[in-house]
């Protein structure tokens, strides 16, 4: 008789894609395992008329899934790592991080090919303070309008003429088969990605050795090192959806290069720094990068 493992997931098309991706991998590695999806609705999915920064930030998309695990309704939860708070409840840990998809932001429009092509005063849709700060520094003339909902909903709003362009994550568009909607991949210098963007993580009960053994084949070591470094920076800065923080890392010949950014939506001030060192010290380097940003005044920006 096959053992059953249940995955808690949100109901959005992207969340379901991610959960089914994990299900497929687990079943391919463990033929004796039956994996089921347990679909749940989170607070972040229910409240769509307010910016994330005003209703609680990143934890909005995972709390109900965690509750489901504690209640025995599910064994694991699958998340976009950019939605996972830097500090997890004591009962949980990240059991695996999978190979990263394209981590950059996408410029999506039906009438314009790049952000530079947008006319003066064009309507640009995004709900991310991180994106707002960076894009406003490049194009202060644009009217940035809040944009909520899943990927399909956001694309539909664009197609209905509510925006001249919108900014989405490349990873989500690629995973859902909308890669052709990407008019421009935003460069690292134009719009530094969110911490963990493009990576899928699996949350488990803390110290659950049996589940860890099942998940071990899914772990992508390079992605894990990169995401842990970015999250270490974010943890030191105490960052969530209510502040503009970006973090992105690459690995080259056992050296990790991490770039961090802190910005103010109110003043437009941006602090951006880069640090590098051996991958074996990735998390410490992430913390060191945060300390450098703090020495430049990051906390004054984040607390205002």
Catalytic (active-site) positions? 83
> What string of DSSP letters covers 47-111?
--SS-HHHHTGGGGGTHHHHHHHHTTS-SEEEEEGGGS-SS--TTEEEEEEPPP---SEEEE-SS
User: Which helix (H) or strand (E) covers residue 231, if one does?
Assistant: helix 221-237
Query: Is the separation of the CB atoms in 95 and 211 below 8 Å?
Result: yes
163: DSSP letter: -
CA nearest 260: which of 285, 225, 223? Answer: 285
> Both tokens of residue 156?
């539909």
Q: Round to the nearest angstrom and report the end-to-end CA distance of the chain.
A: 57
Q: Locate 208 and state its tokens.
A: 């659950």
Q: Write the DSSP symbol of residue 252.
A: E
In whole angstroms, give the CA distance from residue 108 to residue 34: 38
Rg (CA), the chain: 19
């Amino acid at each position: 008789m096959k053992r059953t493992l249940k995955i808690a997931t949100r109901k959005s098309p992207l969340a379901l894609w991610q959960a089914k991706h994990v299900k497929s991998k687990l079943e391919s590695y463990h033929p004796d395992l039956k994996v089921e999806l347990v679909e749940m609705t989170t607070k972040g999915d229910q409240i769509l008329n307010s910016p994330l920064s005003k209703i609680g930030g990143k934890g909005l998309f995972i709390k109900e899934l965690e509750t489901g695990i504690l209640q025995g309704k599910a064994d694991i939860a699958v998340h976009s790592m950019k939605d996972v708070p830097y500090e997890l409840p004591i009962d949980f840990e990240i059991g695996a991080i999978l190979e990263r998809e394209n981590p950059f932001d996408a410029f999506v429009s039906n009438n314009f090919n790049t952000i530079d092509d947008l006319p003066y005063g064009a309507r640009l849709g995004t709900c991310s303070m991180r994106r707002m700060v960076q894009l406003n520094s490049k194009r202060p003339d644009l009217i940035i309008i809040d944009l909520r909902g899943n990927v399909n909903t956001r694309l539909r709003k664009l197609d209905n003429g509510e925006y001249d362009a919108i900014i989405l994550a490349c990873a989500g568009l690629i995973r859902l088969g909308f890669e052709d909607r990407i008019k421009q991949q935003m460069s690292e210098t134009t719009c530094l990605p969110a911490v963990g963007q493009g990576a899928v993580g699996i949350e488990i009960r803390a110290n659950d050795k049996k589940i860890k053994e099942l998940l071990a084949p899914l772990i992508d070591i390079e992605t894990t090192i990169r995401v842990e470094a970015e999250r270490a920076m974010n943890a030191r800065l105490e960052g969530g959806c209510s502040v503009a923080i970006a973090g992105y890392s690459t690995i080259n010949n056992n050296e990790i290069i991490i770039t961090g950014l802190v910005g103010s939506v109110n003043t437009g001030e941006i602090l951006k720094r880069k640090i590098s060192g051996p991958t074996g010290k990735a998390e410490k380097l992430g913390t060191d990068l945060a300390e450098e940003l703090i020495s430049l005044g990051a906390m004054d920006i984040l607390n205002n």
